[in-house]
Amino acid sequence: MDEKIKVTTPRYQQIAADVAAKIVEKHYKVGERIYTRSSLASQYGVSAETARRAISILADLRIVETVRGSGVTILSQEAAAQFVKQFRDIKSMSALKTEILQQLDKQMEDGKSLKNNISELMDRVERFKTINPFVPFEAIIQASSHCVGKTLSQVNFWHNTTATVIGIRHLDTLLMSPGPYAFLHEGDTIYFVGDDNSQIRVKEFIEITDLK
């Protein structure tokens, strides 16, 4: 069977990266007041909630500042540049991983090319660690887990495990940087980061069958 894994990035994160790129390219200058949520939603053809989440990312990273009724003000070109670089590195690594998996499905028809790709992936991972030194763990949601059919927010995932979910693989789709309203399903693989004991806490938490 020739399965292909699709790697998707949430729309709000794509919008945040696009706005940050415009700041880096000086389309918007530090101190300049730009969008309101409604105008951002209209420009990108998304809901107001999606626009709000995009702005929230930029505000959390101190790239912009939001003032109720006054729109969004640009704070830092340097912070925008750092975010854009990290966003592109993650997308580049995801694309490379997809390419490797496709080559494995073809039974390593070109062993030399695969070896080079793996070597390149390892090099990129090492470079990425210098920017974001988190090594993700993974766990599978079993049918008996109390998490099945619930969102990360509903199960208070972070509060119960202190681990941050950075990806969820559902069937043949990998969702990067899922928000609190992302659902967990039987058989999903969750990728998360945390301290050295987080892997044990997550395993014990998702194995609970009835959380009271």
pLDDT of residue 210: 75
**Domain boundaries of the chain, sorted by first residue:** 81-131, 137-206
Helix (H, G, I), strand (E, B) or coil at 193: strand
Q: In this structure, how many other beta carbons lie within 10 angstroms of the beta carbon of residue 173?
A: 11
- Dihedral, CA of residue 46, residue 48, residue 50 and residue 51, to nearest 10: 90
Q: Taking a C-beta distance cutoff of 8 angstroms, is the pair 62, 75 a contact?
A: yes
pLDDT of residue 172: 86
Distance CA 31, CA 64 (A): 9
Q: Taking a C-beta distance cutoff of 8 angstroms, is the pair 182, 168 a contact?
A: yes
Structural fold of domain 137-206 = Alpha-Beta Plaits (3.30.70)
Residues of the chain scoring pLDDT < 50? 1-2
Q: Taking a C-beta distance cutoff of 8 angstroms, is the pair 189, 169 a contact?
A: yes
Stated pTM of the model: 0.44
Residue 27 φ/ψ, nearest 5 degrees: -65, -35
pLDDT in tens, 30-56: 998 887 778 888 889 999 899 989 999
pLDDT of residue 100: 72
pLDDT, the chain, mean: 83
Distance CA 83, CA 67 (A): 22
Structure token digits, residue 65: 């500042």
